[in-house]
Amino acid sequence: MQANAPIGIFDSGIGGLTVTRAIRRLLPQEDIIYFGDTAHMPYGDKSTEAIQAYSIKIVNFLLSQECKAIVIACNSASSAAYKLLREYVGNRALVINVIDPMVEYVATHYAGKKVGLIGTKQTVRSNVYKKKIDDLRKGIQLQAMATPLLAPMIEEGYAGHPIMAQVIGDYLQKAAFEDIEALILGCTHYPLIKEMISNYFENKVAILDSSEIVAKTVKQKLASFGLEKTGALSGEAQFFVSDYTPAFEEMTDIFFGEHAKLKLYPLWE
């Protein structure tokens, strides 16, 4: 691992660009290589075995680009493949998921409190957040709910639409979310509707956005291993996808906050 090597980031599609944007803002000097597995999106309804197979292929690509760190910017892949990827990568690169930083944050700030979680079917079904939080024995009561309609609606451009507000309300009105003090956004798409979710709770519930928390973890990890890039005012960013359509490229403007030219790299040929 070299300090001037890039940071690799991958997701099931383009939702992980919210994490990429947060890392870019916090570490503007770093070079970034992003991979979105748009050919197989979404991962939320895929089997664990399928997600692991896709993730290994993507990690092989990022390792071929000599990435010093690999960020799994996807809750579904983090829950299904993190342990496997960490063993597979070994000491060739740092491997960071989006779940552990959030669990640590919740344990620090919400001990003894009731906290909600929304995410894909895969993330909620894995029970990974509850297991990790319970293991810390902080008295946190976690209420998790799968919200599978939200990510596809965001990708179809419905973020901010009244229909989105109605769907959010239908999900969050469940009794399980009564009296929660914070809500974990367990999908990297959800920061784009963070304000709408906060409005539903009349701004009385803390909405926990993993993208900013993960970016801080990446910075801390790089610093602890002496891998922070220095000397450059602005790093370069490259964006790869396993399937290309103009619609995917247009969506990068929404998720990344600026236009990103996508390069096609099929996982299987």
Q: Where are the domains of the chain?
A: 7-97+212-264, 100-210
Q: pLDDT of 120-175, one tens digit each?
A: 888 898 898 999 999 999 999 999 999 999 988 888 888 889 999 999 999 999 99
Q: Which amino acid is at 212?
A: E
Name the band, by pLDDT with cuts 50, 70 and 90, for residue 233. confident
d(CA 168, CA 196): 8
Catalytic residue among 23, 27, 69, 74: 74
Output the pLDDT for position 44: 78
- The Cβ of residue 194 has, within 10 Å, a number of other Cβ atoms equal to 17
Known catalytic residue at 74: yes
> Is residue 206 over pLDDT 70?
yes
Question: Which of the two residues, 158 and 106, has the higher pLDDT score?
Answer: 106
> Is residue 211 over pLDDT 70?
yes
Output the pLDDT for position 92: 97
Name the band, by pLDDT with cuts 50, 70 and 90, for residue 269. low
Between the alpha carbon of residue 83 and those of residues 74, 144, 149, 171, 188, the distances in Å are 14, 22, 28, 31, 20
Q: Give residue for tokens 């002496």.
A: 226
Output the pLDDT for position 22: 94
Q: Is 4 annotated as a binding residue?
A: no
Q: Is 160 annotated as a binding residue?
A: no
Q: Is 76 annotated as a binding residue?
A: yes
CATH architecture label of 100-210 = 3-Layer(aba) Sandwich (3.40)
Q: What is the DSSP letter of 124?
A: H
Q: Is 199 annotated as a binding residue?
A: no
pTM of this structure: 0.88
Do 62 and 68 form a contact (C-beta atoms < 8 A)? no
Confirm whether 7-97+212-264 and 100-210 share one CATH topology.
yes
Output the pLDDT for position 253: 84
Q: Is 259 annotated as a binding residue?
A: no
SS3 for 32? strand
How many residues does the structure list for the chain? 269
d(CA 6, CA 28): 12
Catalytic residue among 159, 187, 214, 237: 187
Output the pLDDT for position 98: 93
Name the band, by pLDDT with cuts 50, 70 and 90, for residue 17. very high
d(CA 32, CA 189): 19
Q: Is 43 annotated as a binding residue?
A: yes
Known catalytic residue at 187: yes
Name the band, by pLDDT with cuts 50, 70 and 90, for residue 232. low
Question: Which of the two residues, 151 and 224, has the higher pLDDT score?
Answer: 224
d(CA 155, CA 129): 25
Output the pLDDT for position 245: 86
CATH architecture label of 7-97+212-264 = 3-Layer(aba) Sandwich (3.40)
Angle between helices 99-109 and 210-224 (to 10 degrees): 100
Closest CA relative to residue 263, chosen from 38, 27, 7, 63:
38
Q: Is 252 annotated as a binding residue?
A: no
> Is residue 3 over pLDDT 80?
yes
